[in-house]
Structure 1
């Protein structure tokens, strides 16, 4: 059995955006993305809004059917575009779950919390009696800091943080191995975010979970992740161990993200140098040729415009995609 629970190879997700025939246009949301996630670890995924983080997570779970590439779960190929392999995902839904970003939109307002958490139990026929089903629901609610009294209430009766706990309980109900956490704290108050992050860590230890943790906040991702991947305009530009990435980043885009992390110590904050990026993120409908970051990169040249940089291992466990890593460091 491999240590790699999830493997993604050259994943691609294009969305139709109008036009016909040769003039048909596509939003290149995810393009040639490759990574793996080891059992029991957390891989963080960061980048600006619209860079393809959420689409990567949903495509990995095949909530969006991939346009190209290959997905391997627990040494089993569940999708391969070239070989026309597309496994029935129902058995894998029990192993692979997702916690959505918006706790207000992801819960059915007409269902009680008990029915929301119990629905995946019903779909996968995990309970042999009503009492067993009820016990499983209450156990999941207790794991996320709620209790049996909450089971008969509706989502509108809860705060945002409590609703997100319900969403987490729903994901845990089938005892999955792997969870995509799609910006699960971005809609929550700062005071609640730390509680939810700590809960994720406790659940990972007690239930032996593996996470893909998607977020904007690099400081949060640094705290919870074993390794971090950085995306820009649909492509992975750097991936490394959490400490290595934050202390010895190689790609100029990663360096700019790290420089934007707030520093609590005023002396260190004054001494630190912010790297401000010029210009706007190009449209995924018509991305730049070659390196997609070149329009905002101070090191860009003709090679960057002509050649797509290879995403390769430049040090043990440290991957980057840049033609001029020697100039950046």
Structure 2
């Protein structure tokens, strides 16, 4: 069987363009996600990394149809959620129980007028998962306990909690409908460094206990490498590399990935002194008007004329290791 046939999640040529003014032939679009493909196995964590604005969050939200896709196909557990070319779209309500999201900002994603109990219980009500008030209450308390909170927290409001506790509430809300797949949209970026490790460990424990599958989105590669089975790297709306976590960290086959890895802090001062930081020149181009050919070429130390005129092909360099670069032979 092929990788796709074995996969729980199949994303093929995903595209998300947002209108940005103009009319007719002059209409402009922000190319937030452009031709992104990947798979995720059941019970696996795929990390998705890249600079701010590269399309990571848009990818996750488009899969859940929080944004309607511009193009591409998404197959979930052998069921087609959408196929834009065939104009095939399912009713998402039944799938909201199976697919959930944990948002980045715990300060903005929780309704300040609702108690924590009602925040967690809202999805239980929508999907009619409790036969009575007692069962509803039991589910709420169970989910709070799973994320390290307790029954006393159910009657409090979000402003009474720290950032880390609020994110735990957001995670409990996602777990309340017992999903199979969770998009973790930069769930630790708004938290103190001291809390981040606790939350990552909790995600790992929950995955083992509940058999969860994650798309874990972050801009910090050092955090993602600990929780992910595989890591995909995005740049300016496109996937540039995808591999097993250890393989990607130890043998990057794209210059952008190499620069991200060089920025990971090293605790040992001797090793840190010997390591070479790869500083990228210039700024990320606008997704409204991306560069021709390779989108990374304006910041790449290996770029040549070919890179300016020919977009690199996304290909499997080694088993499970994909990259899109004309100069892979110079990187190995």
TM-score by length of 2: 0.98
Aligned equivalent of 1:50: 53
1:63 corresponding residue in structure 2: 66
Partner Cα distance (2:267, 2:118) in 1: 44
Cα distance, 1:49 vs. partner?
Answer: 0.6
Identify the match of residue 121 of structure 1 among 124, 131, 136: 124
2:223 to 220, 224, 230: 220
1-structure distance, mates of 2:7, 2:97:
18
Matches of 1:3 and 1:183, distance apart in 2: 27
Match status 1:306 vs 2:309 = yes
Structure 2 partner of 1:3 = 6
DSSP-derived class of the 2:75 partner: strand
- RMSD (Å), alpha carbons: 0.9
Q: Which runs of 5+ in 1 are unaligned?
A: none
Q: Return the offset for 1:328.
A: 2.5
Contact 1:46 1:217 in 2 (8 A): yes
Using the TM superposition, give the Cα deviation of residue 303 of structure 1 relative to its aligned residue in structure 2, in angstroms: 1.4
What's the offset of the Cα at 1:3? 3.5
Aligned-partner SS, 2:154? helix
* Structure 2 unaligned residues grouped into runs of 5+: none
The match for 1:206 is 209
Kindly state the Cα deviation for residue 270 of structure 1 after the two structures are TM-superposed: 1.0
Distance in 2 separating the partners of 1:142 and 1:181: 20
Cα distance in 2, alignment partners of residues 267 and 157 from structure 1: 43
Which position in structure 2 is the counterpart of 1:27?
30
Q: Is the 8 A contact 2:10 2:75 kept in 1?
A: yes
Runs of 4+ in 1 over 6 A off after TM superposition: none
Aligned length: 329
Q: CA deviation at 1:308?
A: 1.3
The one-character-per-residue Cα deviations of 1:188-224 (angstroms, maximum 9, x if unpaired) are 1111111111100000000000000001110110001
Match of 1:107 among 106, 110, 121: 110
The aligned residue for residue 146 of structure 1 is: 149
For 1:278 and 1:262, how far apart are their aligned partners in 2?
20
- Deviation sequence 1:72-100 (CA, Å, 0-9, x none): 00011110011110111111110000000
In 2, the alpha carbon distance for the partners of 1:308 and 1:127 equals 52
Separation in 2, partners of 1:190, 1:282: 30
**1:263 alignment partner, one of 266, 269, 272:** 266
**Equivalent residue for 2:188, pick from 185, 188, 192:** 185
Q: Tell me the SS of whatever aligns to 1:127.
A: coil
Aligned partners of 1:298 and 1:156: how far apart in 2? 48
Distance 2:293 2:91 in 1: 36
TM-score by structure 1 length? 0.99
